[in-house]
Structure 1
Amino acid sequence: MNAPEHTRTLFGTIFGGASSNEGMGLLNFSLDWQYIQSTYLSLPFKQQVNTWIAYVIWYPAMLGLYYSNAFNAKNFPFMSTSLFKSNGEPLSTASLLNNEGTIDDTKLAEVGLPSLTATTVWGYFTQNLAIGALITHVLIFFGKDMVLAWKQARSRTQPDPHYQGMLKYKEVPMWWYLVLFVLCFVAGIIVNAKGETTLPVWGYIVSLLLGGFIAPFSCILYGLYGSGVSTNQLSKMVGGALHPGRPLANLYFASWSHQVILLAVNLANWLKVGQYTKVPHRVMFATQIYATLLGAGLNYAVMTTIVTNQREILLNPEGNNVWSGSTIQSLNSQAITWALAKDIYGSKGPYLIVPLGIVIGLVLPVVHWGLIKIFPRFRDWPLNTAIITTYAGYTYYGNTSWVWSSIAVGIFSQFWLRRRLPRVYNKYNYLIGAALDGGAQIIIFILSFAVFGASGKEHAFPTWWGNPSGNPDHCL
């Protein structure tokens, strides 16, 4: 703690992770359940093994890129999703836009092309690797299963006992979904027309079609492994190609496209839960509509309040251990850079490797399949290149102190408890996970508004060794 600042910074980069964008959190254990969550009590062991393999790639890749000064990494923070000028100063997205929300070539010439941190470039690259691997992996390894599942669904001959048990309930008529689709589709057109999004109607339609194409692949992976692949990068790439110079249009294009995928996965997930718990189809449909409308209003109110009262720290490129705008900053950064795709990601751009990631990713499952053909015993290894590449760059920003805690929880639950005490596992594992999740969410809500200043006034906890006034890891 009394070492020179450069030494403490190095330690913070490697071991720090309690504060946003601080470091990689190597060997950093956290008891904060809002980050750990019950996910690792329920994800299948084969999925978690793939994520651990990914972490072995992630640690050296992040450090190697930064300390080798790849992409001029040392000019910028180690981790941040913001845009920067070439000299390392933060770059405001507004400094590149005109009043219509499009790129102003005059301002761009004055400010220069925006730059990204090396860790963000790695995160974007691995996302594209995962998208390519997702498509090829599903087609190679699960293509026949997809066709069979489609036929069984059409003929209602799926042998799953839970499915058969649900046949006694009235199914949701397809016209209910069609009416819902038409209402949402028209609402989307109105938003695009009245919201000054700069996204034309034809671009809106293309975004929905793109999401519809990717959704089945994401649903298959999620159904088998309990986790998906972030495909938002593909949406931004296509949006940038179709609407060059229009970051706002790109942002809306990606949002519409991603929502199709996200909602498809969530719908399939909760319909499956309803099937396991024998909730009638029509009751589940009505519940989802009600919950969506309730959640939309509640989330909007909470988000508006927090953004209004914590605007300054949310705009900070690094954030702190309580508030961070990293996710939204990432959306803005991607919208701007993909609107300038030709200059930034093109053949002469500094980040050409990012779009090439999709091509490389398409090949990875083919290599995996080839190794299985050469070494048949390789089939017994539960490898999934889409998941490995996803988690190899999944945490390129934000808090990282949960990584090792999640590994410990996964080993305890899915490896030890499930095998040694299956009765205890079946009776308590998911119940305790749900209870901890619910309790954590309630406490977060209370602390955010009563203590951390979400409502405008902050009430700081007393400082002591366990709650220092500075860096929570005692690194800086």
Structure 2
Amino acid sequence: MSEHKHEYDPTKEFVDEKVDIERQSVILEEEENSPIPEVAAIVSNKDDPSLPVLTFRFWVMGTVFTLILAFINQFFYLRNNPMTITSMAVQLLAYPIGKFMARVLPSGILNPGPFNVKEHVVIAMTANCAANTAYAVDITIIQKVFYRQDFGFLANIMLIFSTQMLGYGLAGVLRRYLVYPAAMIWPATLVQVAMFDTLHRDEDLAPGQWSRYKFFMIVTFGVFIYHWFPEFIFPVMGTVAWVCWINPKNLLLSQLGGSAGLGLGAITLDWNTIIAYLTSPLVAPWWAQANIMIGFVITAWILVPLTYYTNLWNSQRFPIITSKLYRENGEAYVVTDVLTNNQLNETKYDAYGSLRISGFFALTYGIGFAGLTSMITHTWLYHRHKLVAQWKQSREHSEDIHHKLMQAYPEVPDWWYLGIFAFMTAISIIGCEVYDYYLPWWAVLLAVALCCIFVLPVGLIQALTNQTPGLNIITEYVIGYILPGHPIANVTFKTLGYISMSQALTFVSDLKLGHYMKVPPRAMFWAQLFGTILAGIVNLLTADWLLKTQEHFCDPESDTFSCPNTNVFYSASVIWGVISPNRMFGPSSAYKVVNYFFLIGLVLPIPFFYLKRAFPNTWMENIHIPIILGATGMMPPAKPFHYFNWLVVGFIFQYYVRRYHPDWHLRFTYILSASLETGCCLTGLAIFAFFTSTKTEMAAWWGNQQPGELCPLQNEPTIPLGTPL
């Protein structure tokens, strides 16, 4: 029996949906198609090379949507409840705008014909460069806010460009192994292919049936109106922590049921809160959400309270759920008291005392260690034969129909990619040498080397399994041992190594989408670079603007811009950079036991692998250890409250609605997700423009109290702060 025979294939989620949407089977007796059934079911095996791509319409909409997404996503990334507007909203909005432009613009250069799917793809991919904020912006923020250091706009933009685009140079090498071979599926791209196909295919509507666009516009407007209540008029709707409302003065109830505690039973009526740190629960398949639920319950509702109430690591001296930094006696750790010129002063450190973190925070690091090593074991057990086979296939340059059709377009020369890689590496070295507080030149090369070593095996895993092991922990660990006491050097090294790999695979994924949609490779290349440059500039300018105009910016107690992700990023810079992994997790540290999670993650997939073989075709088929261990990867800054509500909504739509109302689910679920995001975003921007920026507040009443006022004890430790050990 093959060891892969009974493994759950996540791509089946996309295949089943597409087949149902199309209501037809794939008939291939006379036509060549992809040898991969799920690709053959979804991706067209036809092409029209005459369709224009980089048109005037593209440049207008690509520029405007990229500017909007870059500003909005950076703006909301720093708010108390972060939110990301994905390129799905752009896919939906660009279609009617493109059709309108094709109808009203004069024929010729401005309007070369009907708005076509290839234009649409490139517009969405350009805007997708702004879907996630530039990771390096967090470095510039923590420098200015926490380390009181500013190297200036030029240094900051050099860092952003180099970390965002260095990985693009690697895509030129990776495309031969991760784009061209038919077996490199990239399951997530199949959803996008299905969406583009749906939009550009005429809908057969029954009498009285809503089109997808009518549904999108009506729901977006309704959400825009409704969201004024949880966001401004009646914010208590955002955190209905009824458990601790029973007796707000009871510490245990506040810890168990408060939104900043374990969040047991706490619900939210605010979509922005549900998706604050996680992707939309309307999109993630239920099998994955079920694994996330298992990991969440074990970590947040079993291990965390067990750690806290047994007082492991003196956890009761700190709040039960927090990512803040503390002294041994429970007082806040003032990092500047142990620094000299933003580097650790060992004399000051010895006098001030060692750093302590909550049991929750320590556990999340341990689970992260286990998740990383479990991915290695899982990949070896389940995918080693497949990976080796596809590696051999890719070396032989085996072609399918899609690769043959792409031969109609000139490929991007290798020297374009190599030029980007060399130039961005040089920019990184120059930036770090000129502003020598970042990294020495050899450390830049080491970070780039780590990226180069891991990018292909990680890319193979992502292309086949849709799972992406991150390098953030490894990079922090490595540079923390090599350059202890240097916080900015630590986060810069991490960004160069981790984000460069992530960006490389993002570009490769987009190239695969272009491969499926038959978009000329050179058009994808220029669109991606254009979008990345534009988004990086807007991200930095937006962050600088908010820093200069908002009071208490990135203060955890801020009512609007508490920067939860950035505060966790800062805490990591202290743990791994200032204090260093040796002092924090070394043999003599209080948290040395956390290192055993590396071993736990390495071993844990093995028994489940053999159990699946022993009991095929059972519920055990869906157990995925790396997903279980990686489930709480967003905690912190996410709290159990966010996960609980995310899972509830996911169960409703991805299990109940999908199972009992499949037609509605297949037709409207993705559209509903995009319209909820868009409506929330419009409300948030309107409130900021008309009220927050003018410092106009809603009249005080019981419905706009802060969660901490309704559950005032949820962030208090069991043992009063400052009590001697």
TM-score by length of 2: 0.59
Conservation of the 8 A alpha-carbon contact between 1:41 and 1:414: yes
Name which of 338, 360, 367 aligns with 2:600: 360
The answer to whether the aligner puts 1:328 opposite 2:569 as a matched pair is no
Maintained 8 Å contact 1:33/1:440: yes
Asked if structure 2 preserves the Cα contact closer than 8 Å seen for 1:44 and 1:414, the reply is yes
CA contact (8 A) 2:568 2:636 kept: no
- Deviation digits for residues 232-275 of structure 1 (CA, Å, limit 9, x no counterpart): 12211111112123222212111211112321332233334434
Structure of greater relative contact order (alpha carbons < 8 Å, 6+ residues apart)? 1
CA distance in 1, matches of 2:363, 2:550: 29
Check 1:310–1:127 CA distance in 2 against 1; reply closer, same or farther (3 A cut).
Answer: farther
Q: Is the CA contact 1:321–1:472 (under 8 Å) kept in the aligned structure 2?
A: no
Give the match for residue 65 of structure 2: none
Q: How does 1:12-161 map to 2 (within 5 A)?
A: 12-17=254-259, 22-37=260-275, 39-58=280-299, 59-99=301-341, 101-157=342-398, 159=400
| Same amino acid, percent of matched pairs | 25
Structure 1 unmatched ranges of 5 or more: none
C-alpha change, 1:303 and 1:337, in structure 2 (3 Å) is same
Letter in 2 for 1:43: A
SS at match of 2:343: coil
Offset from partner CA, 1:93-152 (integer Å, 9 cap, x none): 2222111x3210121022111111111101111111111111221222122222333344
Query: Could you say which residue in structure 2 is the equivalent of 1:382?
Result: 622
Is residue 2:453 matched to residue 1:210?
Answer: no
Distance 1:5 1:401, change over 3 A: closer
Q: How do 1:243-392 and structure 2 match up within 5 A?
A: 243-310=483-550, 312=552, 314-316=554-556, 319=557, 322-339=560-577, 340-376=580-616, 381-392=621-632
What amino acid maps onto 2:545 in structure 1? T
Letter in 1 for 2:432: N
Q: Hey, what's the Cα distance between the residues in 2 that align with 1:408 and 1:3?
A: 23
Shift of 1:405: 3.0
- Cα distance between partner residues in 1 of 2:268 and 2:684: 16
1:411 matched to 2:651? The reply is: yes
- TM alignment of 1:430-449, pairs within 5 A: 430-448=670-688
Q: Which runs of 5+ in 2 are unaligned?
A: 1-243, 713-725
Separation in 2 of the partners of 1:389 and 1:290? 37
* Partner Cα separation in structure 2 for residue 233 and residue 131 of structure 1: 8
- Contact 1:53 1:388 (8 Å CA) reproduced: yes
Alpha carbons of 1:12 and 1:222: their partners in 2 closer, same or farther (altered >3 Å)?
farther
CA shift in 2, pair 1:363/1:315, >3 Å: same
| 1:237 corresponds to 2:477 | yes
State the distance in 2 between where 1:164 and 1:212 align: 29
Q: CA deviation at 1:278?
A: 4.1
Match of 2:574, SS state, is helix
Aligned to 2:710: 474
RMSD: 2.9
366 and 201 in structure 1: CA distance in 2 versus 1, 3 angstrom threshold: farther
Partners of 1:427 and 1:360 lie apart in 2 by 42
Conserved in 2, the CA contact under 8 Å of 1:54 and 1:391? yes
Which secondary structure does the structure 1 equivalent of 2:554 belong to? helix
Decide whether the 8 Å contact of 1:43 with 1:226 is kept in 2. no
- The CA deviation at 1:433 is 2.0
Q: 1:281 to 1:256 in 2, by over 3 A?
A: same
- How far off its partner does 1:440 sit? 3.0
How far residue 162 of structure 1 moved from its aligned partner, in angstroms, is 5.7
CA distance, structure 2, for counterparts of residue 217 and residue 31 of structure 1:
41
Deviation at 1:198, TM superposition (A): 4.5
Amino acid at match of 1:270: D
SS in 2 for 1:290: helix
1:271–1:189 CA distance, 2 compared to 1 (3 A): same
State the shift of 1:351 in Å: 1.0
Cα 1:179/1:241, change in 2 over 3 Å? same
User: Hey, what's the Cα distance between the residues in 2 that align with 1:16 and 1:2?
Assistant: 9
How big is each residue's C-alpha offset from its partner over 1:40-90, in whole Å with a ceiling of 9 and x where there is no partner? Answer: 222222211110111220212122212222111121222222221112221
Q: Secondary structure at the match of 2:622?
A: coil
Cα drift, residue 191 of structure 1: 1.7
The structure-2 alpha-carbon separation of the partners of 1:271 and 1:110, relative to structure 1 and needing over 3 Å to count, comes to: same
Deviation at 1:188, TM superposition (A): 0.9
191 and 320 in structure 1: CA distance in 2 versus 1, 3 angstrom threshold: same
* Contact persistence 1:250–1:338 (CA under 8 A): yes
Partner Cα separation in structure 2 for residue 434 and residue 103 of structure 1: 46
The verdict on how the C-alpha distance between 1:236 and 1:28 changes in structure 2, with shifts beyond 3 A counting, is same
When residues 330 and 413 of structure 1 are mapped into structure 2, their CA distance, relative to the original with a 3 A threshold, is: same
Q: Which residue of 1 aligns with 2:226?
A: none
Q: Following TM superposition, by how much is the alpha carbon of 1:3 offset from its aligned partner in structure 2, in angstroms?
A: 6.5
Cα distance change on mapping 1:417 and 1:227 into 2, 3 Å? farther
CA contact (8 A) 1:235 1:253 kept: yes
Q: How many correspondences in the alignment? A: 463
Distance 1:312 1:354, change over 3 A: farther
C-alpha deviations, 1:144-193, integer Å up to 9, x for none? 2223333444445355x666654544333332221111121111112211
Q: 1:307 to 1:80 in 2, by over 3 A?
A: farther
Q: SS in structure 2 opposite 1:381?
A: helix
| Residues 367 and 630 in structure 2, CA contact (< 8 A), matched pair in contact too | yes
Whole-angstrom CA distance in 2 between matches of 1:342 and 1:387: 28
Measured after TM superposition, the shift of residue 292 of structure 1 is: 0.8
Counterpart check, 1:462 vs 2:704: no
- Farther-moved stretch of structure 1 (385-394 vs 176-185): 385-394
CA deviation digits over 1:209-248, x for unaligned, max 9? 2233343454455445655445412211111112123222
Note if 1:176 corresponds to 2:413. Answer: no
1: distance between equivalents of 2:362 and 2:285?
Answer: 30
Distance in 1 (CA, whole Å) between partners of 2:593 and 2:392 is: 40
The amino acid that maps onto 2:540 is Y
Q: Which is greater in Rg? A: 2
Tell me the distance in 2 between the aligned counterparts of 1:215 and 1:115: 34
Q: Which moved more, 1:329-338 or 1:149-158?
A: 149-158
Shift in CA distance, 418/3, structure 1 to aligned 2, threshold 3 Å: closer
